[in-house]
Structure 1
């Protein structure tokens, strides 16, 4: 049906009705006032249909009304509801533009992209960088995230602890920290075709990163007890003397194993380890290794049938230490102690699996990783500029279709976990029809220069 017919239907009905009213045969059945009523009713029907249409296309709150009124006023009710005024939407707009979705098509691969994902966010293992990738992917497609009602932890995957979604919808992506992982509860809330992704990091480096972060930035009491010129050196000399009684309260005691679901009561006894590894293997489709991150990301891209555009990233929460000390200067014997024994077993297991996956990936894998690193660094350099006037263009090649990186992409790439989470909370609350609030301005082009030397 044409745009004209969509717009004129109520008035065509009005004219037809009026003729009937004026004619002798129907004058006593059809009164002129009824004609006005019919025209108004049909007008309301068309307007409501348009509101439903914009909601289907991912518009929210005030943006729906602006788009509907614009289209209705100009007689364009039959066209796709994407007004040209939105092509220059501000960075804080939560409308995934059609152009953003077009450039995510996969080159040479007709299989369907994975859109249901569970990511086990492991503490201090480059998981915030992966989180940003998943946030951007889901946001661009208006997916429903499993989000905590407050904070950035989900205590337990339960409807009481997470933001609800519209009825008859399903959750698509779960990627925030879980206080306690329960795979049956995850499976209960996520679709059956969900792909399970995890991540691990070399245990000593993860231990140091965790110590620096939770002691120097969050002032965890048990780590503050380690003192001296180099508190970390003091800590690793006798780590168990500093650890809390309950292992679940620790971010240093075999924390990767705990994040993957190893029972806290056995964490320092290393019981039934092989049974635990077999159980984890049966759940996860891919476990990334942060120490070979780009290779892991390309394996992720291939497994999910995502594009190179989808997996671009800017590193998050990089290690910052107050001392100018190389990790090579420390005694690493702590890796073989009880405090890291489980983590080392877990890490060695998944590093071996990843290496085998890389060997199976074929001769072109290394070439693809090298090309991806070139693309990523070009995007990083572009995003480091202050409000570049033109998009960064990547022509089609063997690894991807043509795509562009825009200022909006830079804004999304640069977002840290907490502001991005708050942003998505607003998006999902708006879908529920809850109070609409103006989002804070999360992006400042001048700040992008801070990323010039990162990555």
Structure 2
């Protein structure tokens, strides 16, 4: 095997800090990440999956596609069964329902989610579900600026069932807002306070690296655990839009719940950051430097059959970090492909136990499992 590449750390060193702020605490192996649509959540999901795979944890996987349930419930019929009876990590799409989700996870589970500035999240969702994964109510606009056309009269275009909308306070819906019609805003204050108590961390997409370092510290993970390569970015069509101030004002009136949600957790986020002290920003700067080295390495070696490992040398925030070709492969694998690969591995690894468990709960899943196994 070829010798690894050693990369010297050029960022400033700080002798008064150690590898991690909470080194002596046990890392959290039980994490629920609520994946909010079009808020950089696919990148966070990849971090969660890599952590679970590297430690042989039980990851809750949906039985169909990449979504567990988007109707506000979670049942055994929605997920592949756990061999141990409990799960360690959840990071696929599901509407947040604390009672339903908590029944599958240990009591010490940490709860995390992510939000994005509401107008940016709306535009990203609008264009994604218009061009990339077209849905009926968004793909039929004919004007040069479909966002402006939609905002001129949102109720004219919205689906009859708000659960199928990606443009009506979608972040609040993903987090379980109790009135999906968003006609009764009296729930809002209680909803925000409830989420504030139940979530250990709410990340912000606009401050992604700061959010990732908060995630690392909240979960007591290592710097390598939270390294990432951005996933599912989408800007091809957005550049063609001519967004006006009036468009932004119209959306603010339409998405009052999402704006209140974002502002509430924006304030919470920065209080958490400032509580970390000055070393927090030093760690963020070091993290960005290491992440760039890793991203360059992974991109440059993406199509090379064999390559040497990358060694990111010791910093005040971590010992030497080894990045392998396999690390890069997992980081660069698209979400749907990664989930499908994990399902196949799951079926093959536990084929005898799984087919019995699946047959007990659902005959169509049993058929699905046995067909998959025959093609291994």
Cα gap change, 1:266/1:222 in structure 2, threshold over 3 Å: closer, same or farther?
Answer: closer
Name 2:135's counterpart in structure 1: 220
Name structure 2 gaps, 5 residues minimum: 3-18, 353-369
In 1: Cα distance, 2:193 partner to 2:88 partner: 26
8 Å contact 1:116–1:191 — kept in the other structure?
Answer: yes
8 Å contact 2:151–2:251 — kept in the other structure?
Answer: no
In 1: Cα distance, 2:248 partner to 2:317 partner: 40
Q: Which runs of 4+ in 1 moved over 4 A?
A: 326-330, 434-440
Report whether the alignment pairs 1:389 with 2:303.
Answer: no
Pairing 1:87-126 to 2, within 5 Å after superposition: 109-126=23-40
- Relative to structure 2, which stretch is displaced further, 133-142 or 390-399? 390-399
- Relative to structure 2, which stretch is displaced further, 401-410 or 219-228? 219-228
RMSD in angstroms over aligned alpha carbons? 2.3
8 Å contact 1:165–1:428 — kept in the other structure?
Answer: no
Report whether the alignment pairs 1:194 with 2:109.
Answer: yes
Match of 1:150 among 64, 87, 90: 64
Q: Deviations over 1:54-88 (max 9, x none)?
A: xxxxxxxxxxxxxxxxxxxxxxxxxxxxxxxxx99
SS for the counterpart of 2:63 is coil
8 Å contact 1:124–1:209 — kept in the other structure?
Answer: yes
Name structure 1 gaps, 5 residues minimum: 1-86, 89-105, 441-455
* Equivalenced residues, count: 335
Name 1:130's counterpart in structure 2: 44
Question: Relative contact order (alpha carbons < 8 A, sep ≥ 6): 1 or 2 greater?
Answer: 2
Name 2:165's counterpart in structure 1: 250
Pairing 1:7-406 to 2, within 5 Å after superposition: 109-155=23-69, 156-166=73-83, 168-178=84-94, 180-322=95-237, 324-325=239-240, 329=244, 331-338=247-254, 340-386=255-301, 387=304, 389-406=307-324
In 1: Cα distance, 2:308 partner to 2:38 partner: 36
In 2: Cα distance, 1:410 partner to 1:437 partner: 28
In 1: Cα distance, 2:77 partner to 2:205 partner: 33
Shift of 1:319: 2.0
Relative to the length of structure 1, the TM-score reads 0.70
- Relative to structure 2, which stretch is displaced further, 262-271 or 388-397? 262-271
In 2: Cα distance, 1:380 partner to 1:206 partner: 25
In 1: Cα distance, 2:335 partner to 2:375 partner: 16
SS for the counterpart of 2:300 is coil
| Larger radius of gyration between Structure 1 and Structure 2 | 1
In 1: Cα distance, 2:374 partner to 2:44 partner: 27
Cα gap change, 1:326/1:244 in structure 2, threshold over 3 Å: closer, same or farther?
Answer: closer
Shift of 1:225: 3.5
Q: Deviations over 1:173-202 (max 9, x none)?
A: 011101x43210111110110000011100
